[in-house]
Chain A
Amino acid sequence: MFDVKCDVAVIGGGPAGLSAAMAAKESGAKNVMILERDKSMGGILQQCIHPGFGLAYFNEELTGPEYASRFFEKDKSLGVSFVPNTMVLNMEKNGTLICSNGEKGMMAVHAKSVVLAMGCRERTRAQIQIPGTRPAGIYTAGTAQRLINRQNEMVGKRIVILGSGDIGMIMARRLTLEGSKVVAVVEIMDYLAGLTRNKVQCLEDFSIPLYMSHTVTRIVGNNRVEGVYIAEVDEHMQSKKESEVFVECDTLLLSVGLIPENELTKAAEIAINPVTNGPEVNQYQQTSVESFFACGNVVHVNDLVDHVSMESEIAGTYAAKYALGQIEPEEGFVGCTPGANVRYICPQKIRLDAERKPVTLFFRAVRPQKNVRIIASCNGSTIYEKKAFKVNPGEMEKVTVDVAGFTDGQQLTIRIEEAV
Chain B
Amino acid sequence: MKADVLVIGAGAVGCSIARELTRYNLNVIVVDKNPDVGGLASKSNSAIIHTGYDASPGTLESELVVAANPMYDKIASELDVPFSRVGAILPAITDEQFELLPTLKEKAFKNRVYDIEYLTKEKVLEMEPNMTPEVRGALYIPRESIIDPFLLVVGYAENAVANGAQFLLNTEVTGIEIKDGRITGANTTKGFIEAKFIVNAAGLFCDQIASFVKKNDFFVNPRRGQFYILDKNTNCKTNHIILPIPTKLTKGKLMCPTTHGNMLIGPTAEDLEDKLDASTTKEGLQSIVADVKKMIPCVNMKDTITQFAGLRPNRNPEGLHIDAYDDVPNFVNISGVRSTGVTGSAAIGKYVIRLLQTMGMDAKPNLSFNPVRKSIPCFHEMDIHQKEEIIREDKLYAHVVCRCETITEGEIVRAIHSPIPAKTVDAIKRRLRAGMGRCQGGFCGPKVIEIIARELGIPQEAVVKDRIGSNMLEGKAK
Contacts and interface: CB of A to CB of B under 8 A. Distances in A.
Contacts of B460: 151, 153
Interface string A1-41: 10000000000000000000000000000000000010000
A273 B477 CA distance: 40
Contacts of A217: 282
Contacts, number: 152
A98 interface: yes
B446 A85 contact: no
Contacts of A87: 399-400, 403, 406
Contacts of A142: 442
B470 A224 contact: yes
Contacts of B392: 105
Interface string B402-431: 011010100000000000000001000000
B383 to A, nearest CB: 10
B442 A140 contact: yes
B464 A136 contact: yes
Q: How would you classify the secondary structure of chain A's contact residues: helix, strand, loop or mixed? A: mixed
B438 interface: yes
Contacts of B438: 121, 124
B477 A223 contact: no
Interface in A361-392: none
B62 to A, nearest CB: 34
B107 interface: no
Interface in A200-247: 217-220, 222-224
A121 B443 contact: yes
Contacts of A154: 473-477
B40 to A, nearest CB: 12
B384 A100 contact: no
A59 interface: no
Interface residues of A, number: 55
Determine the main DSSP class of B at the interface with A.
mixed
A402 interface: no
A137 B461 CA distance: 12
B391 interface: yes
B363 interface: no
Contacts of B446: 143, 146-147, 150-151, 153
Interface string A139-159: 110110011101111111100
Contacts of A125: 306, 440
28 contacts: A85-B398, A89-B406, A98-B384, A100-B397, A103-B398, A106-B388, A106-B398, A124-B305, A126-B440, A127-B304, A129-B301, A131-B279, A131-B281, A131-B307, A133-B279, A136-B425, A136-B466, A143-B442, A143-B445, A147-B446, A150-B446, A151-B460, A153-B446, A153-B475, A223-B465, A224-B469, A250-B474, A261-B403
Closest 3 CB pairs of A and B: A136-B465, A223-B469, A223-B470
Given A37-B400, A98-B384, A105-B391, 11 more contacts: A87-B403, A102-B395, A105-B398, A121-B439, A135-B470, A136-B471, A153-B446, A153-B476, A154-B473, A220-B279, A250-B474
Interface of B: 229, 233, 276, 278-282, 284-285, 301, 304-308, 384, 387-388, 391-392, 395, 397-400, 403-404, 406, 408, 425, 438-443, 445-446, 449-450, 460-461, 464-478
